[in-house]
Amino acid sequence: MTEKRKRRTFTEEFKRQIVELHLVGKPKAEILREYGLSQSVLDQWIKRLTTTGSSREKDNRTPEQAELLRLQKEVKHLRMENDLLKQVALIFARK
């Protein structure tokens, strides 16, 4: 079997430098080959940095996406509380 490649992390400064290389005319193919990046990662960095100035996903969410994420977290938390309360109710019902 092939071994899974360890996920690499890159600093914000590195991402900015790579995008800057592209913006000044260095071909994408050359950047990808030289730095071992995937096409999708480079495209994301270019899109995010040129749109909002940040490569972080959190900084590039629309207000609707942020609200949906918040609501999903709240629903998950409420379900956990509900399950816990059901278990407690069962314990007290036995006594």
Greatest Cα pair distance, the chain, in angstroms, is 75
Per the CB < 8 A criterion, the answer to whether 55 and 15 are in contact is yes
Evaluated on CA atoms 71, 75, 80, 82, the torsion sign reads: positive
What pLDDT does 56 receive? 63
Residue 71 has pLDDT above 80, yes or no: yes
pTM of full prediction above 0.75: no
- Binned at pLDDT 50, 70 and 90, residue 5 comes out as confident
Per the CB < 8 A criterion, the answer to whether 39 and 45 are in contact is no
Residue 82 has pLDDT above 90, yes or no: yes
Using DSSP's 3-state secondary structure scheme, residue 13 falls into: helix
pLDDT tens by residue, 18-67: 999 999 999 999 999 999 999 999 998 998 888 777 666 666 677 897 79
Task: Using alpha carbons, list the distances in angstroms from residue 55 to 18, 63, 75.
Answer: 12, 17, 28
